[in-house]
Amino acid sequence: MKSRREGAFDRLLTEIRACRTCIEAPLGKPLPHQPRPVVRARRSAVIAVCGQAPGTRVHASGLPFDDPSGVRLRDWMGVTVEEFYDDRVIAVLPMGFCFPGHDAKGGDLPPRRECAALWRERLIEGLPHLRLILLVGQYAQRWHLSRRFGAPWRQSLQATVEDWRRLSNAATADAPVMMPLPHPSWRNNAWLRKNPWFDAELVPQLRALVAAARLDARS
């Protein structure tokens, strides 16, 4: 039988998946298509993957990181497909739950602002066992690190990821480790070539943190 808190968290996820605010009461232009919020979590999760927003492929499938960027992210984390999609252990919480549409150049628009304002605080508070939060991209980094450090986070993605040692060591007994990452998209291939320290230094530490958190989930 589920506890009262587990039931409340399940109801929150149901509300998120039914959300139509970006069409019915948008902040700015409405979403240019029907919403399909994508979020995966259970209250027992010990790792949260916080990315930007679903792309077209994820919008169609409903499965986050169901694309080549997900292959790369799972390699960085050192987990299998089955392990990644075990939402009892790993939650996937994009900053925007719906595909935001394309800009004039064919790139993805930023995450919808409605999502974080409506849901994010409640969602994070509903995951009390988190040990590790992966901040994938600048939108997640700005939101989470602003709250961790109590001031607007203004560092660039480059500076934030370079600062990974200090940021990942800022955890406390009540606050999980936060690891900043670039987006694993092919668009960042040039960035990865220019920053070989990422694969050489950050990725091994990331895999160790993921393994330790997953071990705790089993104990």
The domain ranges of the chain are 4-218
pLDDT given for residue 219 in this prediction: 66
- Angle of helix 203-218 relative to helix 68-77, nearest 10 degrees? 80
Homologous superfamily of 4-218: Uracil-DNA glycosylase-like domain (3.40.470.10)
pLDDT tens string for the chain (219 positions)?
779 999 999 999 999 999 999 999 999 999 999 999 999 999 999 999 999 999 999 999 999 999 999 999 999 999 999 999 999 999 999 999 999 999 888 888 999 999 999 999 999 999 999 999 999 999 999 999 999 999 999 999 999 999 999 999 988 878 899 999 999 999 899 999 999 999 999 999 999 999 999 998 776
The per-type count for the chain, helices as H runs and strands as E runs, is: 13, 4
Amino acid symbol at 105: K
pLDDT given for residue 147 in this prediction: 95
pLDDT given for residue 218 in this prediction: 72
pLDDT given for residue 156 in this prediction: 97
